[in-house]
């Protein structure tokens, strides 16, 4: 809670004369199709920088991975992904950040444990920690777990997908195309990643709720001011920053294109090893 207040104040300082608004009120702002998000002066087709604003040594990325390897929810997420990359990619392709129920994907909620290796992975986590484990595997949590594990497994050494000068292709949302607050949040995350993909990637690698995550977010705060309309701040939590950046990283990693090829994404993401 104290971190959330510090983040709000820090963004306010970055944009003098700001007035706060909550993510859910983002739809009140207009949005010209040539710009994103929320009337920001950053264009939708802004290319990735040719000279990185932030760089991190390999040992820093390795240490972030070691820290995450001890977090129970991260162990569970990696287990889900490792048991079947194919199921994970299918889940990510059929869902989006705005999903609230498995039924939106045509999956009865009472069949989730049958279709996905939830019990197996809970047992693995319990065995590693010599304790009982209880997790609420809601639809939105399943997406976050799969997305996190997929991204970190595919790109263990930083944003190797990033090609200077490329832009991110238009996003197609299978479930939330008409959900303006969700679209606005995703566009904000896309902007953060476009401006500083290395700092965004580094933040996403840090263990949630850790002091290291707090420090990584401080590095992203100047970028936030560039992705907001002048004179406004964003009332946002650390978990929201992580979620929005994670969505943006996964989208950019799969759908970065040369500037002249910015067309809607295909129905299925780039396939990896199953």
pLDDT for the residue 228 = 80
Query: Does residue 11 sit in the same domain as residue 93?
Result: no
Give the least confident one: 45-49, 178-182, 208-212: 45-49
Prediction pTM value = 0.75
Confirm whether 165 is domain-assigned: no
Q: What is the per-residue pLDDT for 143? A: 96
Q: Is the bond preceding 37 in cis, omega lying within 30 degrees of 0?
A: yes
Residue 59 has what pLDDT? 61
What are residue 155's phi and psi, to 5 degrees?
Answer: -130, 70
Q: 245 pLDDT exceeds 90?
A: yes
Could you read off the pLDDT of 45-96 as tens digits, one per residue?
A: 566 665 555 665 556 656 655 666 667 888 899 999 999 999 999 999 999 9
CA distance 116 to 112: 6
The percent of residues in the chain predicted with pLDDT above 90, rounded, is 38
Burial of 165 (0-12, 13-18, 19+ CB in 10 A): exposed
Same domain, 150 and 70: yes
Q: Are 176 and 182 in contact (CB under 8 A)?
A: yes
Q: Which domain holds residue 118?
A: 62-157
User: Is 211 domain-assigned?
Assistant: yes
**Residue 152 to residue 136: CA distance in whole angstroms:** 22
Q: State the total domains in the chain.
A: 2
Residues 3 and 31 in one domain: yes
Q: How many CB atoms lie within 10 A of CB 160?
A: 11
68 and 151 together in one domain = yes
Give every CB contact of residue 126 below 8 A, 6+ residues apart in sequence.
132, 133
Same domain, 150 and 219: no
| Phi, psi (deg, nearest 5) at residue 234 | -120, 120
Indicate whether 126 and 177 sit together in one domain.
no
Q: What mean pLDDT, rounded, does the chain reach? A: 76
Question: Is 162 within a domain?
Answer: no
Co-location of 4 and 78 in the same domain: no
Q: Do 18 and 81 share a domain, yes or no?
A: no
In a domain, 51, yes or no: no
- 16-43, pLDDT tens digit by residue? 333 232 332 222 233 343 444 444 444 4
Within a domain: 214: yes
Q: Are residues 32 and 88 in the same domain?
A: no
Establish if 13 belongs to a structural domain. Answer: yes
Q: What is the distance between the alpha carbons of residues 90 and 38, in angstroms, rounded to a whole number? A: 31
* Closest C-alpha to 92, from 231, 236, 243, 250: 250
Pick the closest to residue 37 from 22, 21, 49, 26 (CA basis): 26
In a domain, 146, yes or no: yes
Q: Using the 8-state DSSP alphabet, how is residue 17 labeled?
A: T
Residue 12 and residue 6: Cα distance in Å, rounded? 10
| 258 CB burial (10 A radius; 0-12, 13-18, 19+) | exposed
In DSSP terms, 168 is beta-bridged to: 256
- The packing angle between helices 238-255 and 139-154, to 10°, is 60
Tell me whether residue 265 is in a domain.
Answer: no
- From start to end of 52-185, where are the E strands? 167-168
**126 and 87 co-located in one domain:** yes
């Amino acid at each position: 809670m104290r971190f959330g207040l510090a983040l709000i104040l820090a963004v306010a300082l970055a944009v003098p004369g700001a007035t706060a608004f909550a993510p859910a009120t983002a739809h009140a702002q207009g949005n010209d199709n040539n710009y994103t998000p929320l009337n920001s002066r950053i264009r939708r087709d802004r290319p990735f920088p040719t000279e990185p604003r932030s760089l991190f040594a390999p040992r820093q990325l390795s240490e972030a991975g070691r820290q995450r390897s001890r977090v129970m929810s991260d162990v569970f997420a990696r287990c889900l992904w490792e048991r079947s990359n194919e199921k994970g990619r299918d889940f990510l392709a059929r869902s989006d950040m705005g999903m609230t129920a498995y039924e939106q994907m045509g999956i009865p909620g009472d069949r989730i444990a049958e279709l996905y290796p939830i019990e197996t992975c809970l047992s693995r986590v319990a065995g590693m920690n010599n304790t009982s484990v209880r997790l609420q595997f809601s639809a939105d949590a399943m997406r976050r777990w799969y997305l996190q594990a997929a991204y970190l497994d595919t790109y263990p050494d930083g944003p190797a997908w990033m090609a200077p000068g490329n832009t991110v292709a238009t996003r197609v949302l299978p479930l939330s195309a008409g959900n303006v607050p969700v679209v606005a949040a995703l566009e904000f995350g896309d902007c953060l990643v476009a401006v500083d993909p290395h700092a965004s990637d580094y933040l996403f690698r840090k263990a949630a709720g850790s002091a290291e995550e707090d420090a990584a977010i401080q590095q992203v705060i100047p970028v936030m001011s560039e992705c907001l309309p002048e004179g406004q701040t964003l009332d946002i939590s650390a978990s929201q920053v992580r979620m929005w950046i994670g969505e943006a990283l996964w989208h950019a990693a799969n759908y970065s294109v040369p500037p002249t090829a910015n067309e809607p994404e295909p129905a299925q993401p780039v396939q990896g090893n199953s």
